[in-house]
Amino acid sequence: MSTTPYLLPESYTGPIREQAPSRWPASFHSWVRIWLPVTLFMLVFAAESQARFGSDHTSQPLHNLFQALFGNVIDQNWDALHHLIRKTGHFLAYGTLGLLCFRSLYHTQRYRFSTLSLHSLAMAATFLVASADEIHQCYLPNRTGTFTDVLLDCAGAATLLLILHLTVKPRSPRQAAAASQTIQPAQA
C-alpha cells in the first residue's frame, strides 16, 4: 500500500497507479488536512461573534493602532473609518472562507461536480455561515444581525471566487493524469 494522498482502486494495474489521483482522499488524515482550515476559520467566526467583539469594544484598540500609524488625522472621521474597517474585515474574512471552502470541495469533490458547481457550493457554504453568524448576533445586547452584512459577506466570497476563477484554470482529471505521465520519465 502506498503512502500517497490519493490512490486508484486496487484493481487498477497501470504504470501510474501511485501518481494518478483517485476520487477520494486515501485516509482520514487527508480529510482532516483538507477540511481543517475551513473548520478553524468557522471557529474564529464563532469566537468573534461574541459581545466582546462588538464595535463598542473594538473601537478604542483600533483607534489606538491607527493613531500610532497615521497620527491624529484619523480623529475627525474615526466613526466612519471604524465602520469601514469592520466592513472591510467582513468582506475579506468571508471572501477567504469562500476560497477555503472551494479549496476543500475541489480536493474532495472535483470528480463529482463541475468547477462552477464547486464555486456555487462554496458560495452556499459562505451564505450559511454568514447567516448563522448574523442570526446569533441578533441575540447579543451590543451586536446587530443584519441581512446586509450577509450580503456583504457573500459579496466578498463571490469577488474572491471570481478572481480565482479568472486567474487559475484548474486542470481536469485527464489533464492531471497526462501531466503526471509526462513528468514521470523526466524524473527517472
For the chain, the domains span: 28-170
Give the end-to-end CA distance of the chain in Å, rounded to a whole number: 21
In the chain, % of residues over pLDDT 70: 74
Torsion-angle region of residue 2: left (phi > 0), alpha (psi -120 to 50) or beta? beta
User: Could you read off the pLDDT of 128-150 as tens digits, one per residue?
Assistant: 999 999 998 888 887 788 899 99
User: Could you read off the pLDDT of 56-71 as tens digits, one per residue?
Assistant: 777 788 878 888 888 7
Half-sphere exposure of 52 (CA within 13 A, CB side): 4
Q: What is the biggest distance separating any 2 CA atoms in the chain, rounded to whole angstroms?
A: 71
Secondary structure class of 63 (helix, strand, coil) = helix
- Whether residue 148 contacts residue 130, with contact meaning beta carbons closer than 8 Å, is answered with no
User: Could you read off the pLDDT of 155-172 as tens digits, one per residue?
Assistant: 999 999 999 999 987 666
- Specify the pLDDT at position 57: 72
Half-sphere exposure of 22 (CA within 13 A, CB side): 17
- CA 78/CA 26 separation, integer angstroms: 52
> Rounded to the nearest 10 degrees, how much is the dihedral formed by the CA atoms of 41, 42, 43, 44?
50
- CA 135/CA 132 separation, integer angstroms: 5
> Rounded to the nearest 10 degrees, how much is the dihedral formed by the CA atoms of 55, 58, 64, 69?
-90
Residue 46 has pLDDT above 80, yes or no: yes
Residue 25: beta bridge partners? Answer: 6
Q: How far is CA 156 from CA 31, 48, 52, 153, in A?
A: 26, 18, 24, 5
pTM for the full model?
0.72
- For residue 73, what pLDDT band results from cuts at 50, 70 and 90? confident
User: Could you read off the pLDDT of 3-24 as tens digits, one per residue?
Assistant: 444 454 555 555 544 444 555 5
- CA 2/CA 16 separation, integer angstroms: 12
